[in-house]
Amino acid sequence: MILSRHLESQGYQVDAVTTGLEAIEELSKADYNVIIMDVYLPQMNGYEAAMRIRELGSNKANTPIIALTSSTNERDKKICLEAGMNDYIIKSDENDDLFNCLEGYQQKLLAQSNKKIS
């Protein structure tokens, strides 16, 4: 909840869920620009949820997924990327790395929308 409030205070719209299953369910209902996925979730962990998202039969399977975790283990990073996550961010109090990563995706979205207009 703290991260959700921090993201919202920076102007991001947030739909928070508590499990990997809920993440997949919400993605089936709406389009998202980016998914921030905790690795350690109840019922279905972030790795499995990412793999299932990548198996979806629509363009939703291409939604960028950012792994957000407290683990600094290189093995965990490798597992996240192999599961289909696009980025791996280590949690911090300020979450500067996360905001920098989100800014990169925001710039890509703006560039894509500008191409469609011209």
pLDDT one digit per residue (tens) for the chain, 118 residues: 788 999 999 999 999 999 999 999 999 999 999 999 999 888 899 999 999 999 998 999 999 999 999 999 999 999 999 999 999 999 998 899 999 999 999 998 888 777 654 4
Q: Could you state, in order of their start, the residue ranges of all structural domains in the chain?
A: 2-113
CB environment 59-74: b (16+ within 10 A), e (fewer): ebeebbbbbbbebeee
Would residue 37 be called left, alpha or beta, if left means φ above 0 and alpha means ψ between -120 and 50 degrees?
beta
pTM of the shown model: 0.91
* In CATH, 2-113 is 3.40.50.300: no
